[in-house]
Amino acid sequence: MLLHLTIRNFAIIDALELEFDAGLTALTGETGAGKSILLGALGLVLGDRADNDSIKQDADHAEIVAEFDIQNNEAVRSWLVEQALNTDDECLLRRRVSRDGRSRAYINGTPVNLNIIRELAEMLIDIHGQHEHQSLMKPVVQRQLLDDYANHGNLIEAVSNAFVQLKLVDEQLQHLEQASNDRNNRLDLLRFQTQELDALALEANEYSALNEQHSRLAHAEKLTSTVQQSIELLHSNEDSNIQSDLSRVITSLQSIAEFDEKLNPIVDLLQEAIVQIDESISQLNSYGDSLELNPAELESVEQRLQIILDLARKHHVEPKALVELHLQLSNELDDIGHADERLEELRAEYKTLEQTYQNAAKSLSSSRNKAATKLNSAISSAMQTLGMSGGQFVIEITQNDNDKRTAHGVDKINFTVTANSGQACKALSRVASGGELARISLAIQMITAAQTRIPTLIFDEVDSGVGGGIAEIVGQHLRILGSSNQVVCITHLPQVASQAHNHMRVHKLSDKKKTSTSVATLDRQQRIEEIARMLSGVDITQQSLAHAEEMITRAEEV
C-alpha cells in the first residue's frame, strides 16, 4: 500500500509530505484548493508524461517520491527480483522533471525508463475517474478479474499446459516439414560426411593419445640416450655413481652417529633416498627397454594425425570435436532418414493435443460464461445503489479472431456498461463521465474485492452527480472496500467524507506574491469541523457541527 508521498516544486506546491494509512482516506478541500494537483503529482511518479508547466514557477525542477509497503504483495516482490530491483519490504518510486525537458525515473534508487516504472505502477495503484492508471480498461485485467472471480485456476492451468505442449509439437512439426522439403540434398551431403567419419572411426580421446604417441616416437633416440646416461650416473658407472657415493656417505655418518644421536634422522633420510634411487633405476631400466626406434610406426601415426587434421579443417572444428560432430551428423541422418515416420507420429500427436486444448478451452469458456452471468447480476445490482438506476453491466465473451489459440484460451473478454436504462451497453473504456466511470469502477471493486490484485485504489469524482442518500451509500461502500484495500477518495460530499477511516484536508494559501497548497491530516474534532464546513459552507453553525459529529459516529458504529 502507499505509505508516503513527497512532493517538491510541483505546480503551486513548494514542499509537501503526506503519510497514508490503511483503510479509507478522504481527501477534501474547497474547489481549487489543489486536490487535483496531488493526483497530478502521483500520476507523474507513476509514469505520466512530464510537462514543464507542472514545475513550480520559481524552480528549475520538480521531484515526486512515492513509498509503498510491498511486504504482502508477492507479485510486486517477484517482479522486482526479476528486474534486479529487489529491496526488502518497501518500494521507492522517484521522478525528477527538469525545466530543460529532461526527466528521470528511479525504482529503489536505480534509474529506469518510464515503461518499466509504468509496468510496476500498474501492480501498485489504480486510479478511478481518469483513464491513465485505470487497470480495469485493459482487456488482460478484465480477463484476470473474471477468472479470479470464477476461481477456476485448474481450468486455466489445463489450457495453459495444453497450449505449451501444442506449441512445442507444432514447432517440431514445422521444422521437420521444412527439413523434409530439402531433405534429398541434405541426405546426400549427410551420407557423404558420415561415410568419411565412419571410415575415420575416431574414438574418444584418440587424438590426444596419438599426439602423445607421436611425440614419443619422434624423440625416441633422444629419450633412449638420455635414459641410458641417467642410469649410468645413478648406478652403472663403475668408477663413480650416485648410488655407490650415497652408500659411502651413509656408512660414514653411521660410524660417527654413536657420538651424536642427532645424526640418526639424517641417516634415515639418506637411506630413504637410497630406496627411491633404487626404484628410479628400476623404472628407468623398464622404460628404456620399452623404447625402440620404429620409423614405420611413426609414419603410420603421422598419417593418422594428418587425416584427422584435414577432416577437422574441412568441417571447421577442432580435431577433438570430430567425435561429437560424427554423432550429431549420424543422428541427423537417422532423423531425416525416418522423417516420414516421425512426421506421421508428430501429426498424430498434434491432432490429439489439439483436441485436448479444444476440450480444455471449451470447459474454460463455459466456466467463464457462468461466472460472467453471476458477476453481471451482482455488479448491475450494486450500480442501482450508486445513483445509476437502470444501469446495467454486461461481460461480453466472444471468440478470438480466427479462433486464435492462446495460453489463456480462445475467449475475448470485454466489460461493457450503461449507466442509464434503455441505453445500449458500451465498452467500459468508452464511458464518458468521470463520475459515472468512478462509480462503475467502485461497483466492480465492491463485488470483486476479494479477487483484486492491486492493493491501493484511488477514486476521483466518484460522487459527481449524486447527493443525499446515494452519496451516503457511495461512502459506505467505499468504507467497506477500505476494509480489504487501501482506498483514497477525493470528495466534495460530507456523506462520503464522514465514512472515512482517515481524513486529509487540502488548503490553498495565497498572498499578493504567491499561492501555495498545504495538506493537513485531521483528528476527530478537526474532521467534525471540516464536515460541518462541507455541510453548511462558510458559516459553521452548532447545528452543522452536531450533524457532522452524528454522521461520523454513525459511520464508526457500523
| Residue range 391-406, pLDDT digits in tens | 899 999 999 887 789 9
Percent of the chain whose pLDDT exceeds 70: 96
Torsion of CA 94, 99, 100, 103, to 10 degrees: 20
- Among 23-27, 194-198, 258-262, top mean pLDDT goes to 23-27
Does the structure show a pLDDT above 90 at 410? yes
Q: Which residue has better confidence, 215 or 327?
A: 327
Give residue 184's pLDDT band: very low, low, confident or very high (50, 70, 90): low
Torsion of CA 158, 163, 164, 166, to 10 degrees: 120
pLDDT of 95: 94
Determine the average pLDDT of the residues in 92-101: 90
Q: Are 509 and 38 in contact (CB under 8 A)?
A: no
pLDDT of 450: 67
CA-based nearest residue to 227, from 282, 301, 184:
282
Give residue 132's pLDDT band: very low, low, confident or very high (50, 70, 90): low
Q: Give the span between the Cα atoms of 261 and 268, in whole angstroms.
A: 12
Q: Which residue has better confidence, 241 or 213?
A: 241
Does the structure show a pLDDT above 80 at 215? no
DSSP H or E segment with residue 523 = none
Determine the average pLDDT of the residues in 428-454: 77
Determine the average pLDDT of the residues in 432-456: 78
Q: Which residue has better confidence, 412 or 300?
A: 412
Q: Are 114 and 105 in contact (CB under 8 A)?
A: yes
Give residue 29's pLDDT band: very low, low, confident or very high (50, 70, 90): confident
Q: Are 116 and 83 in contact (CB under 8 A)?
A: yes
pLDDT of 129: 66
Does the structure show a pLDDT above 90 at 164? yes
Give residue 136's pLDDT band: very low, low, confident or very high (50, 70, 90): confident
The domains of the chain are located at: 184-337
Does the structure show a pLDDT above 60 at 449? yes
Determine the 3-state secondary structure of 66 from DSSP.
Answer: strand
Give residue 355's pLDDT band: very low, low, confident or very high (50, 70, 90): very high
Which residues are CB-neighbours of 446 under 8 A, at least 6 positions away?
Answer: 382, 477, 480, 481
The DSSP call for residue 55 is B
pLDDT of 287: 82
Torsion of CA 382, 386, 391, 392, to 10 degrees: -30
Determine the average pLDDT of the residues in 426-435: 74
Q: Are 333 and 194 in contact (CB under 8 A)?
A: yes
DSSP H or E segment with residue 296 = helix 295-315
Q: Are 308 and 208 in contact (CB under 8 A)?
A: no
Determine the average pLDDT of the residues in 46-65: 87
Give residue 20's pLDDT band: very low, low, confident or very high (50, 70, 90): very high
Q: Give the span between the Cα atoms of 350 and 317, in whole angstroms.
A: 37
> Global pTM?
0.64
Q: Are 102 and 114 in contact (CB under 8 A)?
A: no
Q: Give the span between the Cα atoms of 14 and 8, in whole angstroms.
A: 5
Q: Give the span between the Cα atoms of 487 and 27, in whole angstroms.
A: 11
pLDDT, tens only, 518-557: 889 999 999 999 999 988 876 788 999 999 999 999 998 8
Give residue 360's pLDDT band: very low, low, confident or very high (50, 70, 90): very high
Q: If phi over 0 gives left and psi between -120 and 50 gives alpha, with beta otherwise, what is residue 11?
A: left
Strands (DSSP E) found in 251-391: none
Does the structure show a pLDDT above 80 at 83? yes
DSSP H or E segment with residue 262 = none
61-69 vs 2-10, strand pairing mode: antiparallel
Give the three cell numbers for residue 35.
486536490
Q: Give the span between the Cα atoms of 471 and 495, in whole angstroms.
A: 6
Does the structure show a pLDDT above 90 at 389? no
Determine the average pLDDT of the residues in 485-503: 92
Give residue 180's pLDDT band: very low, low, confident or very high (50, 70, 90): low
Q: Which residue has better confidence, 516 or 354?
A: 354
Q: Which residue has better confidence, 192 or 182?
A: 192
Q: How many other CB atoms sit within 10 Å of the CB of residue 73?
A: 21
Let me know the angle formed at the C-alpha of 468 by 466 and 472, rounded to the nearest 5 degrees.
90
pLDDT of 443: 85
pLDDT of 396: 95
Which residues are CB-neighbours of 355 under 8 A, at least 6 positions away?
Answer: none
Does the structure show a pLDDT above 80 at 98? yes
**Which ranges of 385-467 would DSSP assign to H, the alpha helix?**
434-447
DSSP H or E segment with residue 532 = helix 524-536
Give residue 508's pLDDT band: very low, low, confident or very high (50, 70, 90): confident
Which residues are CB-neighbours of 482 under 8 A, at least 6 positions away?
Answer: 22, 23, 24, 500, 501
Does the structure show a pLDDT above 80 at 142? yes
Q: How many other CB atoms sit within 10 Å of the CB of residue 40?
A: 18
Does the structure show a pLDDT above 90 at 32? no
Determine the average pLDDT of the residues in 93-115: 91
Determine the average pLDDT of the residues in 506-517: 77
pLDDT of 33: 63
* Least reliable range by pLDDT among 225-234, 362-371, 481-490: 225-234
pLDDT of 432: 54
pLDDT of 130: 55
User: Could you give phi then psi for residue 315, rounded to 5 degrees?
Assistant: -95, 5
pLDDT, tens only, 296-319: 878 888 888 888 888 888 889 888
